[in-house]
């Protein structure tokens, strides 16, 4: 086993240069030129799009599809019906556990499984409050194309097929009504921001190696074609506009009708968001040559203004750490914009309900895991939301311990709160990811967990989706650190970024990077963690004395169905300790040693075997304690049998 350990380390060193590699996967390409005018009295947007679409696939395309997201905000839409149906499920939160049942089965302690932002609000919208998007015509070479509406998806039957490696130009006219703010986009949100303009334009559906991804807008996630955006927005001159990309005409003046046009350009992105309000305040700073941060928010009071100023200050401080851990930020701007219904990420910017730094870091990290890596969120939400949640906690932990208490924008009361939070975090294991582990473990014990391979819109419970995508997805990276070592896991993440940026990676793509970087076999991990709901549960079994009374014999039991390599910390009464490492045969190797505790590597545990026995280096009488997984990075669903204190 020592030889295998050495081989693993050598493999890790060899594959550390993986970041120089690039995966080979074709990508479609699109260039948008959009001109749109918003009437702030009627809330109607009218515009035109000129699109140049490049088919880099090996397939001939005879149809194309567009997303028409705002059609979801109408009574009896699929989003409305789905939300009301899931609201009939009840969740009973009691003593850290969850039970679920139909509305007729549980009492008043239960809460409805709503998307709390949507609930049944769409059903109650008046005609002037709904959202809609309509395309009057699409022209290719002057010929009108046949359009078939499927609620939030528009099918376009082409008069001329798009051959592989060719481009076409499409021209379209559209009209949309901005809905009352319900989910992500809309007008007049809870903070009074007038317009949060996301999913606002007819957006081309992505065609990739799996075909058309024409997912209806039911509840959740997004997926798009990378390309360039040239967007001109016209609206009342009293409004300030925040948007994706770089403003091209900062000195523009209003026309004779009192409207001002704003022209923004953004390259190599797959979405475009903007927001507008007649009481926005704007802060900005060039944080390094070629990169400017912006903050847009509604002026309220001195405390609120300071909190938003703190966003800009914290972002500048966190950027070097983020880039070191997760890869370079490649765009010229990033904008933190007050608006929307919580936090939602877009190309080069985010909509934020408030200035809380946890949400700020989370949404900003979506620039890496949604906009640069561009995983299909409908199919692999955990690779976006989960990895982003992991990064959020990592960055927050680092920031709190290095800069939070010296910010010039927080008061003494806030500093006291932060000090207490920082000290509490140091006592929690695993220290950085404590909340995500707790969230996953609650899900695993709930009885309503579904595999992470479930499509985002097809979970039976909103709770199951959010806990799987966020908590279980983040816990995956903590568990990966346990399996390959935290230091190697960090290299996996940078190699993943450099290998798959702008490529739409899937779960297997990430697993292959992890295998190449660590030199270990990990397909079993994907099958168990992603494609099943099997759980990890190990416990101490028997402790016996060896035949010559020279050593203690310790037996470990696998109670769950999820096999793992195991670490057991033995602490002796003389103050010494040793870490017994039992590799898993499925991995075909061992991770590098971590920490300063003497590590003893044993023979592999066969994954089919329910128990494993090993000997300590000292007799039973010398033992003080035995603990399985002392770092607590292994999400064991029952830790009550993981540690034994031996009385004197």
Ramachandran assignment for 490, one of left (phi > 0), alpha (psi -120 to 50 degrees), beta (any other): alpha
Taking residues 58-76, report their average pLDDT.
98
pLDDT at 22: 66
- Give percent of the chain above pLDDT 90: 87
pLDDT band at 575 (very low <50, low <70, confident <90, very high): very high
Radius of gyration for the alpha carbons in the chain, expressed in angstroms and rounded: 27
What pLDDT, on a 0 to 100 scale, did the predictor assign at position 97? 65
Q: What pLDDT score does 368 carry?
A: 97
The pLDDT, as a whole number, for residue 432 is 80
Q: What is the mean pLDDT of residues 55-70?
A: 98
Domain ranges of the chain: 2-22+421-529, 538-645
Looking at residue 194, what is its pLDDT? 98
| 162-200 pLDDT tens trace | 999 999 999 999 999 999 999 999 999 999 999 999 999
Spatial distance between the Cα atoms of 444 and 561, rounded to a whole number of angstroms:
13
Picking from 203-217, 421-435, 469-483, which range would have the lowest pLDDT averaged per residue? 421-435
| Exposure class string for 131-159: b at 16+ Cβ within 10 A, else e | bbbbbeebebeeeebebeeeebbbbbebe
Long-range interactions of 249-255: CB distance < 8 A, separation 24+: none
Q: Quick one: CA torsion of 372, 191, 357, 439, rounded to 10 degrees? A: -80
**Whether 269 contacts 370, CB under 8 Å:** no
**Residue tagged 């990966």 (tokens):** 480
pLDDT range class, residue 6, cuts 50, 70, 90 = very low
Give the whole-angstrom CA distance, residue 464 versus residue 473. 12
Q: Which residues contact 406 (CB under 8 A, 6 or more apart)?
A: none
Strands (E), 299-415: 333-338, 343-346, 349-352
Q: Which CATH architecture has domain 538-645?
A: Sandwich (2.60)
Query: What's the mean pLDDT when you consider all of the chain?
Result: 93
Kindly tell me if the per-residue pLDDT of 409 is higher than 80.
Answer: yes
CA atoms of 450 and 532, how far apart (whole Å): 8
> What local confidence, expressed as pLDDT, does residue 1 receive?
40
What confidence tens digit (pLDDT) does each residue in 262-288 have? Answer: 999 999 999 999 999 999 999 999 999
Chain centroid to CA 614: how far?
A: 40
Neighbours of 595 (CB within 10 A): 10
3-state secondary structure of 138: strand
Within a 10 A sphere around the Cβ of 279, how many other Cβ atoms? 14
Q: Quick check: 42 pLDDT over 90?
A: yes
The pLDDT of 601-617, averaged and rounded, is 97
> Is the model's pLDDT at 12 over the cut of 80?
no
Which H or E run includes 648?
none
* Choice between 648 and 49, residue whose per-residue pLDDT is larger: 49
Please check whether residue 124 is in contact with residue 74, taking contact to mean a CB–CB distance below 8 angstroms.
Answer: no
Write out pLDDT tens, residues 458-484. Answer: 999 999 999 999 999 999 999 999 999
Give me the helix-helix angle, 486-500 and 302-326, nearest 10°: 90
The pLDDT, as a whole number, for residue 15 is 41
Rounded distance between C-alpha atoms, residue 600 and residue 92, angstroms: 45
* DSSP states of 491-541: HHHHHHHHHHTTS---HHHHHHHHHHHH-S--HHHHHHHTT----B-EEEE
Please, which pLDDT band fits residue 611 given cuts at 50, 70 and 90?
very high
Query: Is 356 in contact with 349 (CB distance < 8 Å)?
Result: no
Q: What is the 3-state secondary structure (H, E, C) of 436-472?
A: HHHHHHHHHCCCCCCCCCCCHHHCCCHHHHHHHHHHH
Query: With contact defined as beta carbons under 8 Å apart, do 409 and 313 qualify?
Result: yes
Mean of the pLDDT values across residues 434-446?
95
Residue 546 reports pLDDT greater than 50: yes
**Nearest in space to 264 (alpha carbons), one of 228, 312, 299:** 228
Distance (Å, whole) CA 22 – CA 25 = 9
Query: How open is the CA angle 276-277-282, to the nearest 5 degrees?
Result: 90
- If you ran DSSP here, which 8-state letter would residue 640 be given? G
pLDDT tens for 509-538 read 999 999 999 999 999 999 999 999 999 999
């Amino acid at each position: 086993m020592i030889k295998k350990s050495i081989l693993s380390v050598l493999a890790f060193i060899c594959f550390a240069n993986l970041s120089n590699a690039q995966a080979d996967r074709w990508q479609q390409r699109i260039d948008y030129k959009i001109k749109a005018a918003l009437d702030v009295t009627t809330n109607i947007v009218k515009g035109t799009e000129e699109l140049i679409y490049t088919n880099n696939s090996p397939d001939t395309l005879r149809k194309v599809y567009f997303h028409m997201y705002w059609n979801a905000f109408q009574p009896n839409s699929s989003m409305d019906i789905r939300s009301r149906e899931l609201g009939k499920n009840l969740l009973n939160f009691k003593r850290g556990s969850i039970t679920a049942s139909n509305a007729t089965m549980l009492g008043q302690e239960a809460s409805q499984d709503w998307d709390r932002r949507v609930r049944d609000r769409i059903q109650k919208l008046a005609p002037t409050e709904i959202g809609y998007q309509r395309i009057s015509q699409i022209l290719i070479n002057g010929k009108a194309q046949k359009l078939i509406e499927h609620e939030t998806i528009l099918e376009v039957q082409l008069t001329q097929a798009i051959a592989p490696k060719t481009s076409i130009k499409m021209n379209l006219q559209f009209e949309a009504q901005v809905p009352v703010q319900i989910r992500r986009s809309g007008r007049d949100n809870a903070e009074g921001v007038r317009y949060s303009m996301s999913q606002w334009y007819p957006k081309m559906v992505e065609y990739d190696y799996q075909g058309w991804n024409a997912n209806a807008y039911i509840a959740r996630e997004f997926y798009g074609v990378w390309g360039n955006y040239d967007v001109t927005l016209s609206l009342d001159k009293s409004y300030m506009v925040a948007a994706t990309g770089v403003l091209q005409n900062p000195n523009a003046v209003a026309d004779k009708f009192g409207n001002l046009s704003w022209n923004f350009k953004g390259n190599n992105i797959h979405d475009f968001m903007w927001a507008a309000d007649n009481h926005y305040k704007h802060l900005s700073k060039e944080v390094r040559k070629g990169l400017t941060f912006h903050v847009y928010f509604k002026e309220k009071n001195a405390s609120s203004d300071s909190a938003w100023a703190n966003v800009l200050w914290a972002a500048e401080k966190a950027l070097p750490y983020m880039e070191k851990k997760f890869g370079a930020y490649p765009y010229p701007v990033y904008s933190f914009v007050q608006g929307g219904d919580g936090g939602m990420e877009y190309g080069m910017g985010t909509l934020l309900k408030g200035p809380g730094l946890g949400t700020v870091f989370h949404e900003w990290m979506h620039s890496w895991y949604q906009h640069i890596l561009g995983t299909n969120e409908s199919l692999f939400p955990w690779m976006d939301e989960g990895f982003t949640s992991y990064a959020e906690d990592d960055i927050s932990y680092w920031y709190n311990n290095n800069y939070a208490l010296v910010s010039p924008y927080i008061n003494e009361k806030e500093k006291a709160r932060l000090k207490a939070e920082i000290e509490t975090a140091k006592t929690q294991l695993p220290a950085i990811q404590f909340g995500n582990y707790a969230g996953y473990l609650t899900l695993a014990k709930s009885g309503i967990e579904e595999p992470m391979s479930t499509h985002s819109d097809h979970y039976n419970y909103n709770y199951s989706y959010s806990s799987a995508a966020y908590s279980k997805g983040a816990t995956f990276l903590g568990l990966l650190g346990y399996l390959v070592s935290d230091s190697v896991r960090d290299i996996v993440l940078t190699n993943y970024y450099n290998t798959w940026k702008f490529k739409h990676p899937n779960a297997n793509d990430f697993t292959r990077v992890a295998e190449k970087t660590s030199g270990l076999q990990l397909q079993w991990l994907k099958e168990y963690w992603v494609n099943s709901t099997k759980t990890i549960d190990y416990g101490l079994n028997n402790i016996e004395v060896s035949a010559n009374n020279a050593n203690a014999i310790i037996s470990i039991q696998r109670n769950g169905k999820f096999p793992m390599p195991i670490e057991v910390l033995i602490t002796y009464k003389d103050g010494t300790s040793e870490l017994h490492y039992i590799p898993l045969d499925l991995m075909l190797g061992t991770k590098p040693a971590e920490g300063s505790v003497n590590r003893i590597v044993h023979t592999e545990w066969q994954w089919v075997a329910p128990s494993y026995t090993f000997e300590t280096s000292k007799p039973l009488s010398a033992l003080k304690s035995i603990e399985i997984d002392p770092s607590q990075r292994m999400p064991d669903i029952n830790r009550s049998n993981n540690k034994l204190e031996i009385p004197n």
